[in-house]
Each structure stands twice: as C-alpha cells, then as structure tokens.
Chain A
Amino acid sequence: MMPLLYACLVIVSVVLTLLSAHVLYMMLYTWGRQGDGGAAAEPARFRDPRLSFTVMLPARHEEDVIQTTIDRVVHASYPRELLQVLVICSADDVGTIGKAREKIAALRKEGVTNVETVVFDDGPINKPHGLNSALPQADRDVVTIFDAEDDIHPEIFSLVNTVMLDERVKVVQAGVQLMNYRSTWYSALNVLEYFFWFRSRLYYHARYGAVPLGGNTVFFDRDLLMRLGGWDDRNLTEDADIGLRLSSMGERIRVIYDDRYVTKEETPPTTAQFIRQRTRWTQGFMQTLQKGTWKRMPTRAQRWLSFCILAFPQAQVLLGVYLVFSIATTLAVKAPVLVAMVSYLPVLLLLAHFLTAAVGLYEFTESHGLQASPRLVAQMAIFWFPYQIVLAYAGLRAVWRQLLSRHDWEKTQHVGAHRIPVTEADANVR
C-alpha cells in the first residue's frame, strides 16, 4: 500500500511541478523577452480617429457606480459621434435602470445623445445574454465591453483605433488592472494575479494562438462578432469561451497592456464575494472544457495550451489539497527521503511564484505611482498559503456546483474601492 502511495505522490509532484513551472514561465513571459516588454509595445503615436465604437455596459444592481462609468465613457478623448454607448440591464433591475436613465437625461441636457439603455426581460439573466440582447442594436465598426465598475482611460479608443488600423487585427484585448491592493487580506495577491495575467500571460497565449479573453476592455470587429453569433449565454465565463472560439477560427488576437491605458477595477469586497467570483470562473472554465471548443484548435500546441488553461483551476484545487497533504505527510508519515524531496518540488515552484509576485508588487506600484513596502510583502507572505487554500476551496465549490448542475450566475458585488484614493480605501477597511 505504501509504495503505491509514494508512487502516486511522486507522479502528482512531478505533474504539479511541470504545471507550476509552466505558469511561472507565463508569468514572466513578457519580461523574459529581450527588449523589456517588446511584446507589450504600444503605438508610439495615435492615428486620427476613424473607427467607430459601440460600448456595451452590462450592469446588474450597479446603482452605486453606473453613473460614473457612463460619464467616463462619454467623456473619453474620442469624437462623440464615433461612440455609441449601450447600458444593458435586465427588466427586474429597476434601480440600475433608473440611475442609468437619470444619467442619460442629464447628459442629454448637456447635448450628449449617444447613450441609451437596452433592457431585456427574458432569461437567463446573466452578462452574456444581456450582451447578445444588445448586439443587434450595436451599429458601429467595433464592439467593446466595459463592466459597470470600470474606470476606463480616456485614450483607450484612440489606442485601439490605432492598433486595429495599423496591425489589421479584428480583436484586441487591452489591459485590465485591479487597483485596491491594500483593501483586504487578499487584495494584493488578487491584484497581482491580474497584473501578471494581463501584463504577461495573455501575451503568451496570444503568441501561441489560444487566448481566453477577459470580460471587458475587449474590442471586436462587429461583423466578426455577428458571424460568430455573439456569446454563449449558458457559459459562466463567456469571455474565455469566445476567445477560444476565435482562436479556433485562426483569428489573430492582439493583446496590449500599457500601464497608462489600463482599465481600472476593484477586487471583490469580501472573502465570500471573492470565493463566489472564483467559483464562477472555475465553473465556467469547466463548462468550456466540457464544451470541447479547445479540441477544434488547428494545432496540437494550441489544443494543449487551451486544455492547460481550462484545466488549471482543477490543478489549483489539486495544488491546494496537495499542500495540505504534503504537510500532513511530512508530519505523520516518514516517507523515503527521495520521495519527500520530489514531493517538495511543487513547493519550491510555489516559492518561485511568490518571489515573482513580490517583485511584481513593486513593478505594479511603481508603474501606477503607488507605494509598496517590505511590510506589505511580509503580509503577502503570511496570506500566501491561505490564499492558495481559498482558491482551492473555490475550485472544489465549482466542482460541486457543476456536479449539481447549478449554473446560475453568482454576481460579484462592486463598491468602487478603486475609485477612491488607495490610502482612503485602506483606511475604510481598517
């Protein structure tokens, strides 16, 4: 029995080590390329505005933030006549509809008439269904999505206009960044996940043609989107799904992350909200994996990469369980030295992840004019392990929900923590 246990331990350790090494590679991919962010190069100067944009703002129970978001979009540095803004709500969300219409009325008084609401009253009530409902009304060259709590950069449309025209790409994923890195115990770690995801990993995915797109600040050529039939409204991560569908069609996707032009967001306000968000993502990835889009990728490398992306949350579950198990093994079972040493390889890689994240904290804060400190790094170190366990728990929860066929949308609450100065947000939490 024990030899079998040891053999399993060694195999799992080796698999997790390889996976973790791959993740580390992706985390550092952009920096690892010669020329310091050569992969992340953005246009040196913007072209004159030519493309027109339909901005979709799906919102549900976003009374607190929707007006500010509408305001930021319409006041972007881009000709107003080239922008169409659609605020998408379900009919039962009267609060958000009311706030949106209130704002639209105020804007009309200022002479701004390119904003309207799209209200849908059929199910399922979720983001992809809302987007699909509004798609027929989108009549501009490019369709883009922003979430209700997003702080968009005024130049984002000029940036994408330039990239799409210069590089003749039909899909662009621009950077999204969580900002409130000091709000909760997990904020810094969550912020850094986003940082590495958009700053580096997505470039890797784009390079190898398997891109799980983000849920906002993503720009599609409208005709392409119509041909594609919009989003899968049964999928909890419709963004990743549509990215992989585009990749399987061989569509080139341009990723662009520039610290200056990122869309700013906030981390979920509570641990429970964070777990719900992660559960939804993991479950969505599981759905996409089962759907089999990844199997239609043209090359084996793309299929393998897509599989890895979609299966990673499960690996994360395994890693969390493994961490607990490996500690228990060390304390309770006297495993052979060689087995014990192999079983620590994933832990070594986790340490490398942490160190990379700690450096990432300094990179992130420096690029956004914020402050990192050794104390914050120490705090990250303390919460690193609990964070992995929470991720693993969310993964397990996703598996459980999937087994129960519960596919309802657990919405993440937004409080606008990224919209107040960081010190203030921090103080509020304390």
Chain B
Amino acid sequence: MSGDRRLPPSFVTFGMRVAAPTVRPPPGRGKERGAGGRLRGLGRRPGLAALVFALVSGLITHADHLFKYPLYLTDEGIYMERVWSLIRETKLTPYTYDYDHAPGGWITIAGWVLPLPRQFETFGTSINTGRALMLVVHVACVFLLFEVTRRLSGSVLAASIAAFLFNFSPLAVYFQRQVLLDNLMVFWVLLSMFILLHRESHIWKALGAGLAFGMALITKENAIFFAPAFLYLLHRGIRGSTTRRFVRTLWPFAMAAPLGAYIMFSVLKSELLPSRLSFSLSHPPTGHVSLLYTLWWQLNRNQGTLLTRGSYLYSSWLPKDSYLLLCGVAAMGTCLYLGMRDRERNHGFLVAGLLAFGYAFYLLRGSVVLDFYVIPMVPLFAMNIGMVADRILRGSHRFVRVGLPVLVGLALLLAPATGYLFTYNDQGRRQVADQYHLNLTVMQREQVAWIRHHIPPGARLITDEDIWTELHDVRPYYPYAHSHWNASSDPTIRDKLFARNWQNIDYVVMSNKMRQAIVGNNGDGRESWILNAIDNHSTVVWQTGQGDIRLQIYQIQK
C-alpha cells in the first residue's frame, strides 16, 4: 500500500475515451503530478508492488491449510461427484439431472481435472483437487479485483484495501477455499468487469465481456443480479461511440450464447417444459424433470428473510467477519450516494455500489439463502470499502493516507477479536485463527480409510456427498454407496436398490450434521426409512470428533 499513486481512472471506452472525472490534487502532491511522464513511469512501480503483495498474500492465506480446513462440505462433494460423472460417464451427474444448477461450474472444474496426471487424486482427494483449482481461481480473482477497483477508482490504495480484505477476511478464507460454484461465478463476473473496464475497450472486448458474463450465468444463475451494473457500465461506455450499435448488439449476443446452449440442452432432451405444462407448486409434475419448472420452483422458494434471528447472517457470517459486513454495507450505501449525486464524476462509485447492491438485494429478497451465498458479497464489499476509504483519505497528508490503512490492517491481523490471523481459544488464550490452525478434513479421510478396511465393496451404503467421489473413483470402488439425498429421491436408487426398506441398508456413514440434513429433508417422510435404520437397527462401529464436529459410521443390524 505504500507509495500510493493515483492513476487516471480508466472509464469504459468503446472507440472513444470518456473524460475521466476531475480529481482534486491532494495537498503536497503538486510536484509529483507536475513531474510528467518520467514520474508517471516511476509511479507504476508502487502499483505493481501492491499488486504483487496482494497476489502473494492471497496465495499464502488460501494455500495454507487449504486441504485441512474447513471440513469438506456436502456441496463440494456434489460438484466433484458431477465432475466425476462428466469425465467418467460423459453425463452431467451420476443421477437424474434436475436442472438445480446450470452446469457451467462443474464443466469448468472438469476442464481442470481432466488433464491432471492423476486426475481426481492429484492432490490426495477429489475435493482437494477441486480446492487446488479454487486456489488458482482465488489468485486470479485477486488480480481481477485489484485491477477492477483500480480502474473504477483510479487509486492503487483503494485496490490494495480491497485486495487485503479479499485475502485476509475469515469469511473470505473460509468460503473461498471450498469447491463452490459461487467462487467460479465471482471469477467470471470479475473477468467480465475487467474486460469492460479495459483502457482500450472495443467490439472484441465487448464480446469477451459478454461471453464471460454468460459463463457467470451458467455457472450460477444468481449472477443475473449483477446485470443492472453491467448494463449501466455498458450504456455509459458506448455513449457517443461509433461502434455503439455493434457493442449494443454483440454484448447481449455473447452473453446469451452460453445460456442458449444450456436451454438447447434441455430442448434436445425434451426437458425444457414440464409434463402437461404444469407449473403447479403444490402438485409437482411427474414424468420428467424440466428446466423451466425448476426455475419456477426456485423462484418461489421462501425461507424467511436474512434479517430474521437464526439466519446465516447471524449464525455464520457476522461471527466470521462482522467488520467486513458492517463496513461493507456502509460503504455500499456511500458509493451509491456518491454515484447518484454526481454520475459523471463518481461513475466508478456508482458501478461499485450497483454491483454490491444488486447482489445484496438478491440475498435480502427472501428466498432460500445458504451459508456460502455470501461469497460474492466479499469482493464487492471489499471493493466498496476500498473506494470509500480512498475517498475519505484523499485530501489527507501522505503519511496519514498510507499510514492509517496500514495501521488498521495490522490491527485486523493482530487483534484476536477479529479472527483474521489470531483468535481466542475456549480457554480465552490467544492462538492462531482456526483457518491456519485446525486440521478438520483428516477426520473425513480417516472415515474413508475405515470404510476401505472394514466394509466390503459390495455393501449398500447411505453416505453424504463429501466422500462420494472417494468411494467411486478409488479402488476398491463402492458402487452401491449413495447419498441420503439420492437414496430418498432418485427413483432408480430409492426404488430399485433400497426399495425404501431399512433392511436393504448395510451401513450409514454420517457426515457432520448429516442427521440434521436428513431430518430437514424429511418433511414428506421420504427419509423415514433411513432414520428408522439409524435409530432402531444400528450399532455405531466407528466415530470421531473435534469440537462440535461429529462423524460416525453405523452398521445396520438385520
């Protein structure tokens, strides 16, 4: 962050350069600015140094304990299971693909896994292999976030603050290490924004930006909530340009191309429309899955608001990093205010504010929100905070301008209350924060090792998705190991293999909180026969735990 140098904001230019907002020179910097090209050349160095620092620190914070913390998540297992199916079976999923997610994310992951020398086992486990990609994606995102923020604000300081928060926030480290579609979506969104903000933007860049945004949409459909910010940025960029007609036409085309492929896939499989064109939520259509029905169902899901007690906001996000979230909300409001007040001069603030607001609106609108849905907010809040901090410090003395952010950064890193680098343990003693200290995944690896040593490959197992690929891709294979989700809902598995009868289960391999998930998914009694097996006919043959994490293996007694 030292030696911050204000570079001219690069506003989108499709064939013409839009005048950058006038920047009032900070006191004491007159000589620096007046020195012309020679000093401008030197001025690139601090920006480069800050970028390198951001990249290296991002690499370290995310690589350290990458394969140990956090615990392998069910969703990570689901995506790796689908990658496995793509590579081994040329199918989008080993079970019935019900359009719950667009497949762009795991197709991307498959593109990573396929050329690796040992494919899924290159980094030990399949999820580790996916996490290695997440590390690469994170470092790429650091670069993109740094550049996007720098271009929107014209400030290396703003970019450095954004990258710092993006790298060190416990919220960021926790979720960005995991194999989640949201991380890939963020990459595509930032890439699209980066291309749009390029100094020499033109038709090809508009095509590239549109394509990247289209990829974001088929990685995770929620990216649609960034569309207003993109449209505004595009609209502003092509004003008065002689290529405006081409850009206005080809950007949406490029964006729609990946979406079109997704829709065409459903058409080719005769799965675009539901059976008998029924969109009834109370009586779901039977016969075949449908893209439009799933979308309709997802749009109508409701789980209270994020602001109600017990939501992930209070139970997970704020405890992990309340500083980022609270400052982020304030910064987002400030950016929107500054941007709306003067769109010409504060164009970058408006774009940053719109990006964050679009996704915040999605989270707050009252649909189902999962723990990791916060992922896109992290870089956006970081960006907004960086830009507002830069604006606040703009008029201050150079010493304050550089020194104050450094002090705040050090405080965040060193104060145990923040959880950035240190934390308090149960005894109230200071220790290194969980994300750089705990080894949780070892328990899941031990669980798999126990299965291999004690359970015959032909056994019928009810498991969670976190170990699915391990059991299907590493010898000895366990072809009859299925997650409780699929065992209770996929007709082939439910009716043919298990026949909804507890006596057809040999073992239940419990992941952490799997019982809660089974109970939560049992509203219509679909998992009762599994609960019956666990509660009334089983013996615990293996278990382990750390803190409040518990893993077990039940043998079903027949």
Contacts and interface: CB of A to CB of B under 8 A. Distances in A.
Interface of A: 28, 31-37, 337-338, 340-341, 344, 348, 351-352, 355-356, 358-359, 362-363
B242 A36 contact: yes
B265 interface: yes
Question: Which 6 A/B pairs are nearest by Cβ-Cβ distance?
Answer: A36-B15, A36-B242, A32-B203, A359-B245, A337-B268, A31-B243
Interface string B215-256: 000000000000000000000000001110110011001000
The prevalent SS among residues of A at the interface is helix
B200 A356 contact: no
Nearest to A359: B245
25 contacts: A28-B204, A28-B246, A31-B202, A31-B243, A31-B246, A32-B202, A33-B202, A34-B15, A34-B200, A35-B15, A36-B16, A36-B241, A36-B243, A37-B242, A337-B268, A337-B269, A340-B268, A341-B261, A341-B268, A352-B250, A352-B253, A355-B249, A355-B253, A356-B249, A363-B245
Contacts of B265: 337, 341
A348 B257 CA distance: 8
Interface residues of B, number: 22
A144 B461 CA distance: 84
The prevalent SS among residues of B at the interface is helix
A341 to B, nearest CB: 6
B270 to A, nearest CB: 10
Contact of B204 (A32, A35, A352): A32
A36 B245 CA distance: 12
Interface string B19-41: 00000000000000000000000
B545 interface: no
A355 B243 contact: no
Contacts of B456: none
B253 A351 contact: yes
Interface in B47-97: 90
A28 B203 contact: yes
Given A28-B203, A36-B243, A352-B253, 6 more contacts: A28-B204, A36-B16, A37-B242, A337-B268, A341-B261, A348-B260
Contacts of B204: 28, 32
Nearest to A351: B253
B214 to A, nearest CB: 12
Contacts of B250: 352, 355-356
Contacts of A33: 202
B249 A358 contact: yes
A198 B15 CA distance: 20
A337 to B, nearest CB: 5
Nearest to A358: B249
Contacts of B242: 31, 36-37
B264 interface: yes
B90 to A, nearest CB: 7
Interface in B152-200: 200
A341 B257 CA distance: 12
Contact of A34 (B202, B245, B249, B269): B202
A31 B242 CA distance: 8
B40 to A, nearest CB: 21
